[in-house]
Amino acid sequence: METFRQDLQYGLRVLRKKPGFTLIASLTLELGIASNTTIFT
């Protein structure tokens, strides 16, 4: 459990340092989730 917490903290720290990557990654995820929801509904 401790390793998971450390990995999560590291991931959040990296995402805070690179806001452009974070924005593109979250937009890509949102688009993928929305398109799958639309197709399979």
Mean pLDDT in order along the chain per 10 residues (41 residues) = 94 93 95 96 86
Which pLDDT score is estimated for 6?
Answer: 96
Distance between alpha carbon 33 and the CA centroid of its chain, in Å? 12
In the chain, % of residues over pLDDT 70: 100
Which pLDDT score is estimated for 1?
Answer: 86
pTM of the complete model: 0.65
CB 15 within 8 A of CB 22: yes
Closest by Cα among 31, 1, 23 to 39: 31
Which pLDDT score is estimated for 31?
Answer: 97
